[in-house]
Amino acid sequence: MQLVFVGPPGVGKGTQSEWLSSFLAIPHLSTGDMLRASVEQKTDIGKSAQGFIQDGKLVPDDIVIEIVDSRLDEEDCRNGFLLDGFPRTLEQAEMLDQRLASRGMPLSLVLELTADESQLLQRLVDRGRDDDSPEVVRKRFQIYRNQTKPLLGYYDEKNILKSIDGSGTREEVREHIRLAVRQQGLEA
Ligand code: ATP
Ligand code: MG
């Protein structure tokens, strides 16, 4: 099964993905984590991505698509995967669909996590990652609204979108996700 988490910065995609990927026994693929690891290791990709991440901008599609596509070829993805933070643009979504079609592995479910920006801003400032300053976070929210939200309509038309309230405690959100996954007939 192939799943995607979509949602604004700080909504809990990473936290919930860790649980859901182990619940469904599929790998958790976070482009944010992969990009931060590349920056840490000072690879060519990391050097190109660093400035975009610091400024709260999206890393260019071709870079991110390449990272994801090569990760999907790894052995542990053969029975599916959970994507977190990708796709983030319509171009990425269309490219992903093409690459998954050629593998005969279409998306099973897209989970949208929602919460108010004021609550998210507080969570992010508390988290305190380098790109979590209020100024950069505002930029990331803006990009989410303009570039990523159009994906919701794209997936809704394909009838694979489920929206989940991400504003409760992590346990409450987890139960909503468990239910959504079960309703879709996806269980480990
Ligand atoms: P959350 O807090 O819910 O885990 P986030 O939006 O705070 O999510 P990441 O998903 O880790 O954080 O992304 C951090 C940064 O990495 C983004 O601001 C962007 O610069 C870059 N990035 C991650 N995924 C992508 C992508 N699919 N396309 C372009 N840039 C990306
Ligand atoms: Mg994350």
With a 6 A CB cut-off, is 58 part of the ligand 1 pocket? yes
The answer as to whether 188 is a domain residue is no
Please list the residues that pair with 2 across neighbouring strands. 81
> How large is the average pLDDT for residues 93-104?
97
Residues around the ion ligand 2 (C-beta < 5 A)? 14, 32
> Which atom of ligand 1 is nearest the CA belonging to 56?
18
With a 6 A CB cut-off, is 59 part of the ligand 1 pocket? yes
> Which atom of ligand 1 is nearest the CA belonging to 143?
18
Task: With 0.75 as the threshold, say if the pTM is over it.
Answer: yes
Encode pLDDT of 135-164 as tens digits: 999 999 999 999 999 999 999 999 999 999
With a 6 A CB cut-off, is 14 part of the ligand 1 pocket? yes
Per-position b or e across 127-144, b if 16+ CB within 10 A of its CB? eeeebbeeebbebbbebb
CATH number at residue 150: 3.40.50.300
The answer as to whether 118 is a domain residue is yes
> Which atom of ligand 1 is nearest the CA belonging to 10?
2
Full residue range of the structural domain in which residue 22 is found: 2-183
d(CA 141, ligand 2 centre) in Å: 14
- The count of structural domains within the chain is 1
Question: Which of the four pLDDT bands, split at 50, 70 and 90, describes residue 187?
Answer: confident
- Burial of 35 by CB count in 10 Å (0-12 exposed, 13-18 middle, 19+ buried)? buried
Task: Please tell me whether residue 135 adopts helix, strand or coil conformation.
Answer: helix
Encode pLDDT of 88-97 as tens digits: 999 999 999 9
The answer as to whether 6 is a domain residue is yes
With a 6 A CB cut-off, is 141 part of the ligand 1 pocket? no
The answer as to whether 80 is a domain residue is yes
d(CA 12, ligand 2 centre) in Å: 7
**What pLDDT is recorded for position 52?**
98
DSSP label of 149 = T
CB atoms within 10 A of CB 87: 26
The answer as to whether 170 is a domain residue is yes
* Contacts of residue 122, Cβ cutoff 8 Å, sequence gap at least 6: none
CA–CA dist 157, 7 (Å, integer): 18
The answer as to whether 79 is a domain residue is yes
> How large is the average pLDDT for residues 38-54?
97
Percentage with pLDDT > 90 across the chain: 99
With a 6 A CB cut-off, is 82 part of the ligand 1 pocket? no
The answer as to whether 146 is a domain residue is yes
Question: Which of the four pLDDT bands, split at 50, 70 and 90, describes residue 166?
Answer: very high
Which ligand lies nearest to the CA atom of residue 144 in the structure? 1
